[in-house]
Structure 1
Amino acid sequence: MTQADTNELQQQLIDLESKLAFQEDAVLALNNELLEHQKRIEKLQRQVLLLAEKLSRSDNSDILRPEEEPPPPHY
């Protein structure tokens, strides 16, 4: 193996290590973002459940069925 071949292999190894480091950083950033999104989803799910409970407990006098809704003002 010549010196040029050795230098080329070393450069390829350095390039691969750089790419691996970049990919590890990208995966970590994506994982952190995914965790944040999961927290937001769980919070929204809790809010939807609370709203559903409030609607089921209320007398629903303020909420009309679709057929009871008055027509929009432009009619």
Structure 2
Amino acid sequence: MSAGEAQAGDALERRLIELETRLAFQEHALAELSEALADARAEGNRNGELVRHLLADLKKVRSELYSEPGDEPPPPHY
């Protein structure tokens, strides 16, 4: 093997190592992003459920506030 071939082989090996390093970094970053997305979706689902419960509670409160006065029993002092 000549000196030129050895240098070309070394350059190719360095390039391969660099590409493998970049790939490993990207795989790690992708895994972190995937986990963050899963966490965000779970939080969105929890928030959606919370909003549904709050709206149901608000509906109950509104129906109690705006119900007909004759529907309620008289106060205890009568």
- TM-score bracket for the superposition, by shorter chain length: 0.7 to 0.9
Q: State the distance in 1 between where 2:22 and 2:64 align.
A: 59
State which of 7, 11, 21 in structure 2 corresponds to 1:8: 11
Task: Give the drift of 1:54.
Answer: 1.0
In the alignment, structure 2 segments of 5+ residues that lack a partner are 66-78
> Which runs of structure 1 show a deviation greater than 6 angstroms over 4 or more consecutive aligned residues?
none
Shift of 1:26: 0.3
Number of matched residues?
Answer: 62
Match in the other structure for 1:39: 42
2: distance between equivalents of 1:20 and 1:60?
61
Q: State the TM-score, normalizing by the size of structure 2.
A: 0.73
> Distance between the aligned counterparts of 2:31 and 2:64, measured in 1?
47
1:56 to partner: Cα distance? 1.4
Identity across matched positions, percent: 26
1:47-62 aligned within 5 A: 47-58=50-61, 59=63, 61=65
d(CA) in 2 for partners of 1:48, 1:31 = 26
1:28 and 1:44 mapped to 2: Cα distance?
24
Runs (5+) with no aligned partner, structure 1: 62-75
Query: Which one has the largest radius of gyration?
Result: 2
Structure 1 or 2: larger helix share?
2
